[in-house]
Amino acid sequence: MKRLIMVLVFAVIAAAVAGGYWYWQQSSGAGASGAEKGKKGKGGKGGGATLTVKAVRAVTKPMPVMIEAVGTVEPEQSVQVRAQVSGVLQNISFKEGDKVKAGQLLFQIDPRTFQSQYNQAVAALARDRAQLENARAQQQRLEPLLKREFITQQEYDVAVTSAKSLEATVQSGQAMVEQARIQLDYSRIVAPISGRTGQLAVRAGNLVNAAGSGVPLVTINSTDPILVGFSIPERQLEDIRRYQNEKDMRIEILPDRAGGAVATGKLVFVDNTVTPQTGTVLLKTRVENTKELIWPGQFVNVRVVLTIEPEAVVVPEVAVQPGQEGPFVYLVGAEDKVEIRPVKVSRQLGNEIVIASGIAGGDQVITEIPQALRPGATVRIADATAEGGEKRKGKGKGGKKGEGKGDSEGGKTGAAKP
């Protein structure tokens, strides 16, 4: 019984091995057959299929030569408003964040103490003036008596000295009145500049102290015009100085790099030293900001347009490919053959790249690169094919003989020329 079982087991194993070998032979045969077919197909006329690509012509047009940087918006004037006299804050005549004009009343400190001091100084001045008038009258009465020798010289000198002393007293009283008036005026805090107010540090009813202690009552920043400060590498300073006085040079401010410029200005400041830690130079521009599109403290993109290059060669950004030896483009050359052309990139403006050398205006560069694209391959330009089809379709029956045939065989005859 055991021997029979052993024989059956060996038979099953042998059958499994034979089946596996047969399956392997069939798979190998099918792979070889497919390879031979592929090889034959590759060597045949239909193996070198034409690739369809999208391409554009490099254009020649005026393009700006510029320097890009990141800047910070800063107010041309910024004032911290503080109290110059101490007292209870009686009234606030604006809302935080409001725009104010120079001379506009902002805060009112209780003026009663300063008003009484002013009134007291005025009264003291009036008394001194009355005494001065009396002393001058006394001097005038004694002068003829001295000439007749009815009084001594000493008596007359005392009258003169008294009049001069009272003159000095009146001048001192006038100064006291002016000082009291200034203190009274300080109880009314007005805006020193025009601008936009910030956050309030106090509220009505609080006791405020004289300037020099505590936080400012409010800060006012001027917003129109406004300054934008930015730094450039020291190697670019020579270009800035070369074009600084040219009329074409301008500075554009862009809150969003992809958007348009919201303000344009001129260069107003070049720092007199290079920052050693960063190797950069600080510059500033003043721009109009009537609509307050940019805000103090905001980071913005800055474009320094040095000049306009009249005939720059421009291609789309997608056409330029990175390489180990530098950037290059796929060029559609003679007989619609692809060639690789190294290029030197001058600068990039948005989605356009200015080419310094490597291609010329009118050259066709491929913008969508198929994975199978190789130098020397024959390509068909998709846009040109579509355009040609529309033109041929537009001719209709009035076209030349053979045009209909060309349309029907367009997929077989090869690439359409651009």
Each residue's pLDDT tens digit, 299-321: 999 999 998 888 899 999 988 98
pLDDT score recorded for residue 388 = 41
From 4-18, 202-216, 228-242, 273-287, the region with the lowest mean pLDDT:
4-18
Displacement of CA 405 from its chain's centroid (Å): 58
pLDDT score recorded for residue 23 = 58
Question: Tokens representing 287?
Answer: 């721009």
With a CB cutoff of 8 Å and minimum separation 6, the contacts of 358 are 328, 329, 341, 342, 343, 344
Alpha-carbon distances of 122 from 45, 68, 169, 188, rounded to whole Å: 116, 64, 13, 20
User: 18 pLDDT band (50/70/90 cuts)?
Assistant: low
What average pLDDT score do residues 330-335 get? 86
Which residues sit opposite 64 in a β-bridge?
A: 308
What average pLDDT score do residues 184-213 get? 89
Are 208 and 86 in contact by the 8 Å Cβ rule? The answer is yes
φ, ψ of residue 226 to 5 degrees: the values are -140, 155
pLDDT score recorded for residue 282 = 95
Q: Does the structure show a pLDDT above 60 at 341? A: yes
Task: Report the sign of the C-alpha dihedral through residues 194, 199, 205, 207, in that order.
Answer: negative
Instruction: Name the more confident of 118 and 371.
Output: 118
Are 189 and 109 in contact by the 8 Å Cβ rule? The answer is yes
Q: Per residue in 361-396, pLDDT tens?
A: 888 898 888 888 888 888 888 864 444 444 444 444
**Domains of the chain in sequence order:** 51-65+311-393 (2.40.420.20), 66-76+222-309 (2.40.30.170), 77-109+188-221 (2.40.50.100), 111-186 (1.10.287.470)
Q: Please, is 99 exposed, middle or buried when counting C-beta atoms within 10 Å of its C-beta (0-12, 13-18, 19+)?
A: middle
Question: Tokens representing 268?
Answer: 């107003």
Q: Does the structure show a pLDDT above 50 at 16? A: yes
pLDDT score recorded for residue 368 = 85
pLDDT score recorded for residue 13 = 76
Q: Does the structure show a pLDDT above 80 at 93? A: yes
Choose from 14-23, 140-149, 337-346 the range with maximum mean pLDDT.
337-346
pLDDT score recorded for residue 383 = 60
- For residues 77 and 193, give the distance between their C-alpha atoms in angstroms, rounded to a whole number: 8
Return mean pLDDT, the chain.
Answer: 81
Among 58, 69, 176, 184, which Cα is nearest to 115's?
Answer: 184
Are 239 and 304 in contact by the 8 Å Cβ rule? The answer is no
Q: Per residue in 60-89, pLDDT tens?
A: 999 888 888 999 999 999 999 999 999 999
φ, ψ of residue 153 to 5 degrees: the values are -65, -35
Any idea what DSSP says for residue 378? B
One-letter amino acid for residue 405 of the chain: K
Q: Per residue in 247-268, pLDDT tens?
A: 878 999 998 877 788 999 999 9
The proportion of the chain whose per-residue pLDDT surpasses 70, expressed as a percent, equals 80
Q: Does the structure show a pLDDT above 60 at 418? A: no
